[in-house]
């Protein structure tokens, strides 16, 4: 490649600094970092809420929190962690690394990507404004009717409207991921060569497309009933409270996999790298990911075994729930076989993966116990459930997320963290986690119900709760050590180089941090482990010298066929735009108008939405139609 | 070009003949999520009916009738004909006729919106969504459907505005909005079957 070409490439993709550029950028890496930072702030908020809850429960009859404050805090803790932390955090990794892993220069719809982030931020601020006002949602993260329909104040309206807004963001993000992976893979990356992390994001995004409408509809029904006197969940007027639960869990169980599957992708990314061998049973792993996402739609009633449904229904759903063990088993054995047949490198990211396997298997075992209906009916709504889903969610999602931070931050910053402090952080987190949540199994079996703001002395729960509280602070300290180490690496870490882990995927073949155009030359892929395919990368370098597949003029990236990944066209990508932010702000005006019962403000917001959509698309050139 | 076997230096086909445009995929996925929303709306309708003892619709709701709803639904359904015609005209470069076809579909869509608005306003004088759960789900389905037709009408208006930019090869806006309008047509038929035939079944 001539220097003039490189110069043109640099200029085409230059990312100016400054306020206007920050508000209009469509760079998937900047948006990915924003997702990660914003979600981390919500994790901090949700974590502080949890510590306050643990202080309240440290001993019997404590009066740190009023019952009302406790209800708001435990509801916000759940809402924050499920909706505002885990999914956006994984979207952040997806945004940053899916285009890099498939050898693209951006997402398929860069402006939609910016829009998704702004709407996520707006919904997070909207929901949290309720806590500032002291009127946060207080009916738990799944807000069962009739408690949620009859509770006074605006608390639950923040829940309903906030989640509808968030669903727009999540759905737009999912559509973007799917089209990106369908159309923007590097030439030669047929679908079966796509990295496992991308497969997991694909499965997750498909689940989002089909699962989120159930939550949106439920929240629409909730708002129509609360604000305009409709009767969906009101049995005195022909409604049915169970309609809420059905719709909620039709969304809610797939959402468990929406949270868990990207984490599976992270684990399947890190295990082959730190075992220094290709993934064992790669195709089976892909099938397991897709099967889990699909089966997740047929098991929702197992959240409702205690509500009095017909025996036949419950048996069907119990059997369906048990089939999930098949893909899960395939997945775990493929990981173990990869580790056993490889040469494991025990560094911090891998340590977190081992921690994940241990914790998640414990959570999985208590999960299988819930598929047994009589056991479920005995133990539901006790602290045993709290223990179970923290093992699944913290073990299944947070451990992989921390592993991914250690694994990918050197690519994003170009600097390495301190390995010894990294290990110390892991052990503090691992021990703190188990000290917090293992005793909850026992307090649950001893009969302690969940969601109580305090409990009497003399039940034998006091010591167990004290242990949980001590564990929570050890865990928090471990998280601070972990975060401090990563923050320190940003300023003083050793240079990471292109590929510090000798990893196998494309993001490790470009510089750390990657340039704004990701790759100077579009890589041509010939295997499922392209960074280990040195002959193909040498061919890339040769093409770079000849100026082939460089696309130096404008925001351009390779468009390939959906299945085969054959080079099909050069796609001209949009550049920065302020309209996505304008549309997000307009949507925020709509929900704010609705919560303030100002129909004029809401209508004005809708008009602004239409104007923003028109402005967004007016100058877009007409695309090919065939 | 098969990049896995053929040399990558082969001339680049700039037309994109082997894949669907990204915008087409985006619209398919939007339709998938919207169709799921309607599926769940209809499932909720059937669930509430199933859990209700006695006649459906329950008092004070009268029989919802069939003639007027069928009439307005047909307005939307037949609009698929001029729109399909517009797309075929556009492919051969007859943009004047394409514009006429889009305009006809737009007029039919607007006619539906006006008549449906009047019908709903009339029925709200006697029975409302606050009367019982049947009214709630009935008017909610009507309302969500109305919003989707209105969005489609805005899309048709947008396509009409952009016809000067269309060429036989490049008119993705028309293709994508036709796709959405086809979805609206199918959903209109499904909503009609649910709301007006289920009470008779």
Mean pLDDT in residue range A510-523: 95
- Which of 178-197 (B) contact A at CB < 8 A? none
Q: Which residues contact A252 (CB under 8 A, 6 or more apart)?
A: A142, A215, A300, A303
Q: Measured between alpha carbons, how far is residue A255 from residues A90, A292, A511, B10, B195 in Å? A: 13, 12, 35, 45, 31
Of B26, B37, B129, nearest to A109 by CB-CB distance is B26
User: To the nearest whole number, what is the mean pLDDT of chain A?
Assistant: 95
- The answer to whether A621 touches A609, Cβ cutoff 8 Å, is no
Mean pLDDT in residue range B169-195: 97
Q: How many helices (H) and strands (E) are present in chain B, helices listed first?
A: 6, 0
C-alpha B68, offset from chain centre = 19
Do B33 and A178 make contact, defined as CB atoms within 8 angstroms?
Answer: no
3-state secondary structure of A571: strand
pLDDT in tens, A207-245: 999 999 999 999 999 999 999 999 999 999 999 999 999
Compute the half-sphere exposure of residue B47: CA atoms within 13 Å on the CB side of its CA: 18
Nearest chain B CA: its distance from A111 CA (Å): 13
Where does the pLDDT of residue B12 fall: very low under 50, low under 70, confident under 90, or very high at 90 and above?
low
What is the C-alpha to C-alpha distance for residues A67 and A56, in angstroms, rounded to an integer? Answer: 10
Q: Which of B92, B82, B76 is nearest to B166 (CA)?
A: B92
**DSSP track, A200-269:** HHHHHHHHHHHHHHHHHHHHHHHHHHHHH---TT-GGGT--HHHHHHHHHHHHHHHHHHHHHHHHHHHHH
Mean pLDDT in residue range A340-367: 93
- The answer to whether A520 touches A494, Cβ cutoff 8 Å, is no
**DSSP track, A468-524:** HHHHHHHHHHHHHHHHHHHHHHHHHPEE--S-TT---SGGGGS-SSPPTTS-SS---
Where does the pLDDT of residue A554 fall: very low under 50, low under 70, confident under 90, or very high at 90 and above?
confident
How much is the pLDDT for B14? 54
Residue A97 has pLDDT above 60, yes or no: yes
- The answer to whether A6 touches A519, Cβ cutoff 8 Å, is no
pLDDT in tens, B28-61: 999 999 999 999 999 999 999 999 999 999 999 9
Where does the pLDDT of residue A308 fall: very low under 50, low under 70, confident under 90, or very high at 90 and above?
confident
pLDDT in tens, B101-141: 999 999 999 999 999 999 999 999 999 999 999 999 999 99
- The answer to whether A165 touches A126, Cβ cutoff 8 Å, is yes
What is the C-alpha to C-alpha distance for residues A561 and A568, in angstroms, rounded to an integer? Answer: 6
What is the C-alpha to C-alpha distance for residues B201 and B194, in angstroms, rounded to an integer? Answer: 10
What is the C-alpha to C-alpha distance for residues A314 and A316, in angstroms, rounded to an integer? Answer: 5
Q: Which of B130, B132, B142, B117 is nearest to A228 (CA)?
A: B130
CB-based contact (8 Å) between B175 and chain A? yes
- Which of 19-38 (B) contact A at CB < 8 A? 19-23, 25-26, 29-30, 32-34, 36-37
- The answer to whether A72 touches A137, Cβ cutoff 8 Å, is yes
Mean pLDDT in residue range A172-192: 97
Q: Encoding tokens for residue A24? A: 């209009």
Residue B173: list chain A partners with CB under 8 A: 617, 622-623
- The answer to whether A429 touches A475, Cβ cutoff 8 Å, is yes
Do A247 and B165 make contact, defined as CB atoms within 8 angstroms?
Answer: no
How much is the pLDDT for B3? 42
How much is the pLDDT for A302? 84
Question: Which residues share a beta bridge with A569?
Answer: A559
Q: CA B21, A186, A276, A400 torsion: positive or negative?
A: negative
Where does the pLDDT of residue B201 fall: very low under 50, low under 70, confident under 90, or very high at 90 and above?
confident
How much is the pLDDT for B125? 95
What is the C-alpha to C-alpha distance for residues A613 and A582, in angstroms, rounded to an integer? Answer: 9
Q: Which residues contact A191 (CB under 8 A, 6 or more apart)?
A: A185, A562, A563, A564, A565
How much is the pLDDT for B16? 67
For chain B, how long is the longest CA-to-CA vector? 74
What is the C-alpha to C-alpha distance for residues A114 and B77, in angstroms, rounded to an integer? Answer: 36
pLDDT in tens, A30-39: 999 999 999 9
Residue B1 has pLDDT above 50, yes or no: no
What is the C-alpha to C-alpha distance for residues A309 and A136, in angstroms, rounded to an integer? Answer: 32
How much is the pLDDT for B4? 44
Q: CA A488, A493, A499, A500 torsion: positive or negative?
A: negative
ipTM, 2 dp: 0.95
User: To the nearest whole number, what is the mean pLDDT of chain B?
Assistant: 92
What is the C-alpha to C-alpha distance for residues B172 and B20, in angstroms, rounded to an integer? Answer: 11
What is the C-alpha to C-alpha distance for residues A6 and A27, in angstroms, rounded to an integer? Answer: 19
Taking only Cα atoms into account, the Rg of chain A, rounded to an integer number of angstroms, comes to 25
pLDDT in tens, A106-152: 999 999 999 999 999 999 999 999 999 999 999 999 999 999 999 99
Strands (DSSP E) contained in A541-614 are 556-560, 567-572
Where does the pLDDT of residue A436 fall: very low under 50, low under 70, confident under 90, or very high at 90 and above?
very high
Of B2, B4, B136, nearest to A224 by CB-CB distance is B136
Question: Which residues share a beta bridge with A49?
Answer: none
* DSSP secondary structure letter of residue A623: P
Total residue length of chain A:
626
Do B162 and A213 make contact, defined as CB atoms within 8 angstroms?
Answer: no
Q: Encoding tokens for residue A172? A: 């737009």
Q: Which of A350, A366, A355, A379 is nearest to A433 (CA)?
A: A355
Where b means 16+ CB within 10 Å and e means fewer, A278-300 reads: ebbbbebbbebbbbbbbbbbbbb
Do B1 and A566 make contact, defined as CB atoms within 8 angstroms?
Answer: yes
| Residue of A24 and A553 predicted with greater confidence | A24
Mean pLDDT in residue range A80-85: 97
| Residue of A395 and B16 predicted with greater confidence | A395
Q: Measured between alpha carbons, how far is residue A190 from residues A322, A341, B12 in Å? A: 33, 27, 18
Q: Which of B48, B109, B43, B120 is nearest to B75 (CA)?
A: B109
Residue B7 has pLDDT above 50, yes or no: no
How much is the pLDDT for A626? 73
3-state secondary structure of A558: strand
Residue B124: list chain A partners with CB under 8 A: none
Do B16 and A617 make contact, defined as CB atoms within 8 angstroms?
Answer: no
Compute the half-sphere exposure of residue A542: CA atoms within 13 Å on the CB side of its CA: 9
Angle, nearest 10°, between helix axes A241-275 and A399-413? 50
pLDDT in tens, A36-60: 999 999 999 999 999 999 999 999 9
How much is the pLDDT for A428? 98
Residue B150 has pLDDT above 60, yes or no: yes
Mean pLDDT in residue range B60-66: 92
How much is the pLDDT for A307? 86
pLDDT in tens, A360-416: 989 988 888 887 888 988 999 999 999 999 999 999 999 999 999 999 999 999 999
Do A231 and B174 make contact, defined as CB atoms within 8 angstroms?
Answer: no
Residue B15 has pLDDT above 80, yes or no: no
What is the C-alpha to C-alpha distance for residues B45 and A413, in angstroms, rounded to an integer? Answer: 53
How much is the pLDDT for A475? 98
How much is the pLDDT for A455? 97
Do B2 and A610 make contact, defined as CB atoms within 8 angstroms?
Answer: no
Q: CA A248, A112, A125, A485 torsion: positive or negative?
A: positive
How much is the pLDDT for A325? 85
What is the C-alpha to C-alpha distance for residues B198 and A120, in angstroms, rounded to an integer? Answer: 39
Give the residue from chain B lying closest to A247, CA to CA: B40
């Amino acid at each position: 490649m001539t220097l003039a070409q490189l110069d043109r490439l640099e200029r085409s993709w230059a990312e100016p600094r400054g306020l206007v550029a920050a508000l209009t950028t469509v760079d998937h890496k900047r948006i990915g970092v924003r997702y990660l930072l914003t979600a981390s702030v919500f994790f901090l908020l949700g974590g502080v809420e949890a510590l306050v809850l643990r202080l309240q429960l440290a001993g019997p009859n404590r009066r740190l929190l009023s019952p009302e404050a406790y209800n708001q805090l435990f509801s916000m803790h759940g809402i924050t962690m499920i909706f505002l932390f885990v999914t956006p955090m994984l979207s952040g990794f997806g945004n940053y690394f899916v285009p890099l892993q498939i050898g693209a220069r951006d997402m398929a719809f860069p402006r939609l990507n910016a829009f998704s982030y702004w709407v996520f931020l707006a919904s997070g601020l909207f929901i949290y404004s309720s806590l500032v006002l002291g009127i946060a949602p207080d009916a738990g993260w799944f807000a069962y009717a009739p408690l949620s329909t009859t509770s006074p104040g605006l608390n639950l309206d923040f829940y309903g409207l906030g989640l509808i807004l968030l669903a727009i963001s999540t759905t737009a993000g999912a559509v973007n991921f799917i089209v990106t992976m369908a159309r923007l893979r590097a030439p030669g990356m047929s679908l079966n060569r796509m990295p496992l992390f991308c497969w997991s994001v694909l499965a997750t995004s498909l689940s989002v497309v089909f699962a989120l409408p159930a939550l949106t509809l439920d929240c629409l029904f909730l708002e129509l009933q609360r604000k305009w006197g409709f009767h969906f969940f009101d049995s005195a007027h022909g409604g049915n409270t169970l309609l809420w639960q059905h719709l909620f869990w039709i969304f809610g169980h797939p959402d468990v996999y929406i949270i868990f599957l990207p984490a599976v992708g992270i684990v399947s990314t890190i295990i082959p790298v730190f075992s220094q061998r290709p993934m064992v049973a790669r195709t089976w792993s892909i099938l397991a990911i897709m099967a889990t996402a699909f089966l997740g739609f047929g098991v929702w009633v197992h959240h409702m075994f205690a509500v009095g449904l017909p025996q036949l229904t419950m048996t069907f759903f119990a059997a369906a729930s048990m089939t999930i063990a098949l893909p899960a088993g395939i997945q775990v054995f493929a990981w173990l076989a990869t580790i056993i047949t490889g040469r494991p490198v025990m560094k911090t990211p891998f340590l977190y993966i081992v921690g994940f396997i241990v914790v998640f298997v414990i959570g999985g075992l208590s999960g299988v116990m819930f598929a047994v209906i009589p056991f479920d009916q005995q133990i539901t709504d006790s602290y045993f459930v709290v223990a179970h889903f923290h093992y699944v969610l913290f073990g299944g999602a947070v451990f992989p997320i921390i592993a991914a931070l250690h694994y990918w931050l050197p690519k994003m910053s170009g600097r390495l963290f301190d390995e010894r402090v990294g290990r110390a952080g892991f052990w503090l987190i691992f021990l703190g986690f188990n000290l917090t949540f293992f005793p909850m199994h026992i307090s649950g079996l001893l009969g302690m119900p969940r969601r109580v703001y305090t409990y009497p002395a003399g039940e034998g729960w006091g010591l167990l709760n004290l242990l949980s509280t001590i564990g929570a602070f050890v865990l928090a300290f471990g998280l601070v050590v972990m975060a401090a180490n990563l923050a320190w690496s940003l300023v003083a870490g050793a240079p990471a180089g292109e590929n510090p882990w000798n990893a196998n995927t494309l993001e490790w073949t470009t510089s750390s941090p990657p340039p704004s155009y990701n790759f100077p030359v579009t890589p041509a892929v010939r295997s499922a482990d392209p960074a280990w395919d040195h002959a193909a990368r040498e061919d890339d370098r040769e093409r770079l010298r000849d100026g082939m597949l460089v696309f130096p003029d404008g925001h351009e990236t390779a468009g390939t066929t959906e299945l085969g990944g054959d080079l099909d066209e050069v796609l001209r990508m949009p550049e920065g735009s302020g309209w996505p932010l304008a549309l997000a702000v307009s949507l925020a005006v709509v929900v704010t108008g609705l919560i303030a019962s100002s129909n004029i403000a809401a209508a004005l917001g809708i008009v602004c939405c239409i104007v923003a959509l028109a402005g967004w698309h007016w100058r877009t050139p007409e695309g090919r139609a065939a | 070009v098969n990049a896995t076997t053929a040399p990558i230096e082969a001339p680049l086909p700039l037309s994109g003949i082997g894949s669907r445009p990204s915008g087409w995929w985006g619209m398919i996925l939007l339709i998938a999520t919207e169709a799921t929303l309607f599926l769940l709306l209809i499932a909720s309708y059937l669930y509430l009916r199933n859990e209700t003892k006695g006649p459906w619709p329950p008092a004070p709701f009268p029989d919802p009738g069939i003639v007027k709803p069928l009439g307005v639904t047909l307005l939307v359904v037949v609009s698929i004909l001029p729109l399909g015609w517009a797309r075929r005209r556009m492919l051969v470069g007859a943009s004047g006729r394409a514009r006429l076809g889009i305009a006809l579909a737009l007029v039919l869509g607007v006619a539906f919106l006006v008549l449906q608005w009047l019908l709903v306003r009339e029925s709200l004088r006697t029975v409302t969504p606050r009367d019982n759960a049947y009214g709630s789900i009935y008017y909610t389905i009507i309302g969500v459907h109305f919003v989707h037709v209105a969005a489609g009408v805005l899309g048709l208006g947008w396509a009409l505005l952009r016809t000067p930019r269309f060429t036989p090869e490049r008119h993705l806006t028309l293709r994508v909005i036709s796709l959405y309008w086809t979805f609206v047509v199918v959903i209109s038929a499904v909503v009609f079957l649910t709301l007006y035939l289920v009470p008779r079944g």
